[in-house]
Structure 1
Amino acid sequence: MTIFRCLYTCLCLWAVSPGVLPAQTEPPAEPEVIALPLALRRAVENDPRMGLNAALADAAQGQVEQADLPPNPVIGGEAENFLGTGPITGVQGLELTLGISQVIETADKRARRTTLARRERDLVDWQRELLVAEVEAEVRAAFVDVLLAQELVTLRARQLDLARQSETETARLVEAARSPQLDLTRATLAARRQTYALEQAQRELATAKANLAVLWGEGSFSDFEVEGSVVLEPEVPSFGELAAMLPNTAELARYEALRKTREAALDLEKARAVPDFEIYAGGRYYNEDNGNFGFVAGFEIPWPLFDRNQGNIRTARAQVRAVEYEREALRRELLTSLHRAYQVLVSAHAEAISVQADLLPGAEQALADTSAGYERGQYTQLAVLESRQTFFEIREASLVALQRYAAAQAQIQALTRPAGLSY
């Protein structure tokens, strides 16, 4: 970013002609600095899947409300013995019946139906928990990519600055006939190579920023910087410790909620095997015999001679048993993914430690000794350039190792993230 600002300033000064001042403009706004918590919050708030989940939760709550309602009573009327022949010609023998009927649910169906609806509502919450975990994992990975891309741009900008200083110093020595023209050619080539490397790093940074901004729902984004650091832990946790965290993750913990949901469905199917009965009552008017009136009452109950809901009960039982197999299959899949990420983590951690503890100090000392020797006339400009290139190559190797370490760490965090819901 420093190089961008310097370039912008130089272009503006070059464009100002003597005696003619451009219209006063506001200075460019500083890039927004974003920390990881803000990046996570933006991604979660702007993900349309969160709105979809909220709508599904509202729909599921409506099903809870509906499940707790009893059947409606039925009001009916019936006319008999009219418009016939003989004694029932016209309306002479008319009979009118008006009444009300009500289905009475048995086996506590209403409570069991409501319990099932509530369990299904809980599953929507678990879906949101899985979604949040997925979004956070994507944001963490993209955030680290931007963070390390910024570090690479800073490193290569420093390399370019030193290469240009060397080019200027070599040109001075060549003019003074103290160095051959070949040294200036090499110094110029080194500066051009670093210019290309810096531009490449800047393009990679722009891509990483775009990938992060997409997670916020931004097609085009204003410039920003991320702040933070990749912390290299002294030791890598054991695989057993990480594997022990899997049962508490949303991926596996939700199966307990799923089991309860399917058990509630089984209870409801068992209750449906018990038939409901219907009662009715009303009054009947007889047009003959001077209009007599009487009451009627009765009940109806299905005879479960063939259908005792046995097929649905069998299906519900099998689905309850299937939960444990589904959970175990996913557990093994997650364990495999965790093991692969762990191997990358261990390898990258060892590589980063080795580079930082062994290679980097030696390269730094070699560069310092070569530079000091060059000042005393003991080494050539080529030796200084080679030492500097080796030093920065090791610095970049350290960043690559950190990137592998951070990517594996983010994947492990996603796999072992504890659930925010209880079951």
Structure 2
Amino acid sequence: MPSSFRRPPRFAVGCAVAALTAALSGPAWADPAPDYDALVARLSDTPLIAEAGALLDAAEARVRQAHVRPNPVLGLEAENAFGSGPFEGYKNAETSLNLSTDLELWGRRGARVDVARAEAATASRRSTLVAADAAGRLALYYAEAEAADRRFGLATEALTLTLADTRAALALVEEGREPLLRGIEGQTEAAAARARLDEAQAERDAAFARLTGFAMLVQPVTSIGDTLLDRMPTPVAAETSAAPAVLVAEAEREAADRRIAVERIRARPDVRASIGVRRFEAEDATALTFGLSVPLPLFDRNRGNVEAAQADFRAADARLRGVRQEAEADRVAARARLGSAASRVSATDTGVSSAEEAYRLSRIGAEAGRISQLELRSSRAALIAARNAALDARLARVRAEIDLARLDGRAPFGAAQ
């Protein structure tokens, strides 16, 4: 076979080797991410937790404000002054100084306080839900960054194996033991492996950026020091408390019920009392004044607001029933996925061991000429697929643990929030 037909594959493989060497000899990653447990402990610095905490502070401040009584009204009136005839000037004027206040009858203040407390309880439970969601998102971003880093390593190893097999195929082509087609196929596989490596590197950079942004880290993450993919999920008891979403729905229902009482009380007359002093300039005398004022409920009896509050309560009650059913179904599904993922991890690890042994034997057989290049490529593809399947299984286990932890209102993998 003329040498001019053998050089292109060998030259292409040499370029691929040079490209791989350049990729692996770049700047070293010097900023590993903090441990997952340390990042969970710092979740209070994230905007999500800070926002939930501020909303809770606002709700608690409204509770304190609800206890405050309304301010009294100080009024000053002058009558029969600066007129004509006997009322010329101010000598026959009558001046009144009075103080009036809302009596808050019918339990207005207590109902207002009850609503504020119910809303504060809702904000508190919602902050717990936000904390669980934030911990779940952190665990997911951490696991995805670790998985992307491992995929990059697998893609690098896959390219290394592909180049090694291609070099071996070219040697057989040189000896005339394999057709030229095998060298061309090796060149194509090396190019595809290089493209997959570039894609894996881009995915890794994106995953590192997501983790850096969510965790509010000063230095960009460039490597993963801790591991979540290999960490075993936290054992959970058979009987667990209600999901945070259910607790939030219960608090919203309670607040809606309290608002009905407020609107019903508002339908009753708002009685105001007043007391004051009146000065009679003509007689040079003073006298006390006092009175009550009550609006006549001829037109506005607050029926619309009462009906609206009742409708809001029915909506909150229906939402609570739906959330309870969904939470129970999601918890059963999450436990099933977690058990399935654990079995899948064990199965894929066995598959990786078998694929590694099969590929090792295939390499030996191919070098001895007892196994064809097609069989070697098939065993290499099976090995790469097995390793990626094992990584997918671990990532699925992490996601199942995240879903279950969110339903239990805790941080995944037993981290302390």
> With structure 1 as the length reference, what TM-score do the two structures score?
0.74
Corresponding residue of 2:114: 115
* Cα distance change of structure 1 residues 191 and 344 upon mapping to structure 2, 3 Å threshold: same
The superposition leaves residues 300-343 of structure 1 with CA deviations (integer Å, 9 ceiling, x where unpaired) of 14165545555544544444444322101223344555566667
- Deviations along 1:173-230, one digit per CA (max 9) or x if unpaired, are 666x485464655555544443333222222222322333342457993523253142
Query: Aligned letter for 2:319?
Result: E
Aligned counterpart for 2:359 among listed residues 338, 362, 367: 367
Distance 1:69 1:165, change over 3 A: same
- For 2:319, the equivalent position in structure 1 comes to 326
- Assess, with a 3 A threshold, how the Cα gap between structure 1 residues 293 and 152 changes in structure 2: closer, same or farther: same
Paired residue type of 1:256:
E
Is the 1:157–1:198 contact (alpha carbons within 8 Å) kept by the matching residues of 2?
A: yes
Specify whether residues 4 and 129 from structure 1 end up closer, same or farther in structure 2 by C-alpha distance, changes over 3 A only. farther
Structure 1 distance, partners of 2:336, 2:39, is: 28
For residue 99 of structure 1, what is the amino acid of its counterpart?
N
Corresponding residue for residue 16 of structure 1: none
Aligned residue type for 1:249: A
Point out the more displaced range, 268-277 or 339-348.
339-348
Q: Any idea what the Cα deviations from partners look like across 1:131-155, whole Å, max 9, x if unmatched?
A: 2233333222222222222222222
- Quickly say closer, same or farther: Cα 1:43–1:195, change in 2 above 3 A: farther
Q: What residue is the counterpart of 2:245 in the other structure? A: 251
Structure 2 letter corresponding to 1:330: V
TM-score between both structures, scaled by the size of structure 2: 0.75
CA shift, 1:256, in A, is 2.8
Looking at structure 2, the residues matched to 230 and 311 of structure 1 have their Cα atoms a distance apart, in angstroms, of 56
Deviations 1:226-277 (A, max 9, x none): 531424879x999xx5xx75x6121111233223323433343444455454
Matched, 1:284 2:278: yes
Q: How far does the alpha carbon of each residue in 1:50-74 deviate from its partner, in whole angstroms, 9 at most, with x for none?
A: 4444443443344333322222222
| Aligned-partner Cα distance in 1 for 2:73–2:322 | 50
Partner of residue 37, structure 2: 37
Give the 5 Å matches for 1:303-318: 306=298, 309=302, 311-318=304-311
Quick check: 2:95–2:279 contact (8 Å CA) kept in 1? yes
Which ranges in structure 1 are unaligned for 5 or more consecutive residues?
12-26
Describe the SS at the equivalent of 1:221. Answer: coil
Pair 1:261-2:260 in alignment? no
Contact kept in structure 2, 1:334 and 1:415, CA below 8 Å: yes
- Count of aligned pairs between the two proteins: 392
Q: 3-state SS of the aligned residue for 2:194?
A: helix
306-315 or 121-130: bigger deviation: 306-315
Query: In structure 2, the residue corresponding to 1:64 is in which secondary structure?
Result: helix
Q: CA offsets, 1:5-62, max 9 Å, x none?
A: 9647868xxxxxxxxxxxxxxx856232333234445665232x44444443443344
The Cα shift of 1:105 comes to 2.5
Residue 355 of structure 2 contacts residue 383 of structure 2 at CA under 8 Å; is this kept in 1?
A: yes
The structure-2 alpha-carbon separation of the partners of 1:9 and 1:166, relative to structure 1 and needing over 3 Å to count, comes to closer
Identify if the C-alpha distance between structure 1 residues 287 and 345 changes in structure 2 by more than 3 Å, giving closer, same or farther. closer
Distance 1:360 1:72 in 2: 76
Identity of aligned residues (%): 24
Q: Does the 8 Å contact 2:33/2:222 carry over to 1?
A: no
Matched residue SS, 1:248: coil
Counterpart Cα distance in 2 of 1:217 and 1:285: 69
Backbone CA RMSD of aligned residues:
4.1
- CA–CA distance in structure 1, aligned partners of residues 22 and 388 of structure 2: 25
Paired residue secondary structure (1:297)? strand
Per-residue deviation at 1:296?
1.8
> 2: CA distance between counterparts of 1:207 and 1:397?
21
Query: Which structure 2 residues correspond to residues 173-188 of structure 1 after superposition, within 5 A?
Result: 177=175, 179-180=177-178, 182=180, 187-188=186-187
Quote the residue 2:13 is aligned against.
Answer: none
Say which is worse superposed, 258-267 or 210-219, in terms of deviation.
Answer: 210-219
**Aligned-partner residue type, residue 352 of structure 2:** L
Gaps of 5+ in 2: 1-17, 412-417
Q: Distance in 2 between matches of 1:403 and 1:109?
A: 55
CA distance in 1, matches of 2:51, 2:395: 34
Return closer, same or farther for 1:206/1:196 CA change in 2, 3 Å cut-off: same
* Aligned 8 A contact 1:43 1:215 in 2: no
Q: Which residue of 1 aligns with 2:5?
A: none
Residues 283 and 293, structure 1, Cα contact 8 Å, conserved in 2: no
| Matched residue SS, 2:105 | coil
Contact 1:248 1:418 in 2 (8 A): no
